[in-house]
Structure 1
């Protein structure tokens, strides 16, 4: 499958089977995350793999949706606020951008392996902070990962036209 086919295949999966994600698939996905680019190669991130029932139940407190509970594992994408490259001209920190790049590597690698994912950014940051954060780290996104259920369908992807998103000068 080429890259365009992979991006067409990936969608926000919101229903998973109970089948666990294999260690081989997880290792592949996380290697793709590890190789993601970041500003000045700072890699200001940590990715917490949540498999235990104890921590899954705690994580549900951050995003309490029925579909979310069907995922066999979650990856909490964390930003290290002390390690972000900052553009000197306007003091714009690039940590969120860097974590987003690595997180999309995660989602595309999972899709290549036949697994579903969904970006979850509408979570309670206080709950994730209590569970995983330190003074330096904060959660940027939570990604449920798993085998999509047979009745989990990709709704039509609504995308702007090429003319709406590009401009030549």
Structure 2
């Protein structure tokens, strides 16, 4: 499958079967996150893999889990992130999002479904998963085998803005 077909196949899955994600697939997903580019190659991502019943119950106290059998809490180590010298922007959230995207698309290539979650209680995640002060939770990626009907890859034709609405040549 070419990249664009893969990207169009991926959808926000909000209903999962009980089927567990195979360890070898999880390993490939984590490897995709490991090789993701980060600012100045600082690699500030810290990934908390949650798949036990108890762990998923703790996650459910922080956000909706939609019945997924596996979650990866994608964090940024604020002591490790690269900082843009011109305005002091720390890019840990960008790095964590690149890592999340790599893992999400890898999961899709392996026949798994995902949901990228930003709507969670950061302090609850910090407490439930004992994150140190310098580790910031940025995203949560739910992973599993979807149940129900997946979204059509053709949905982008009507749900996405035309390129002319988002792309500018040379200047805004």
In structure 1, the partner of 2:160 is 159
Q: Is the 8 A contact 2:72 2:142 kept in 1?
A: yes
- SS of 1:87's partner is coil
- SS of 1:70's partner is coil
Report how far residue 98 of structure 1 moved: 0.5
Q: What do you get for the CA RMSD once the two structures are aligned?
A: 1.1
Q: Is the 8 A contact 1:44 1:95 kept in 2?
A: yes
* In structure 2, C-alpha distance between the alignment counterparts of 1:77 and 1:131, rounded to whole Å: 14
In structure 1, the partner of 2:60 is 60
Aligned residues: 165
* In structure 1, C-alpha distance between the alignment counterparts of 2:93 and 2:9, rounded to whole Å: 25
- SS of 1:118's partner is strand
- State the TM-score, normalizing by the size of structure 2: 0.92
The answer to whether structure 1 residue 45 and structure 2 residue 45 are counterparts is yes
* In structure 1, C-alpha distance between the alignment counterparts of 2:12 and 2:69, rounded to whole Å: 16
* In structure 2, C-alpha distance between the alignment counterparts of 1:4 and 1:129, rounded to whole Å: 36
Runs of 4+ in 1 over 3 A off after TM superposition: none
Give structure 2 stretches of 5+ with no counterpart. Answer: none
Give structure 1 stretches of 5+ with no counterpart. Answer: none
* In structure 2, C-alpha distance between the alignment counterparts of 1:69 and 1:5, rounded to whole Å: 26
Q: Is the 8 A contact 1:16 1:152 kept in 2?
A: no
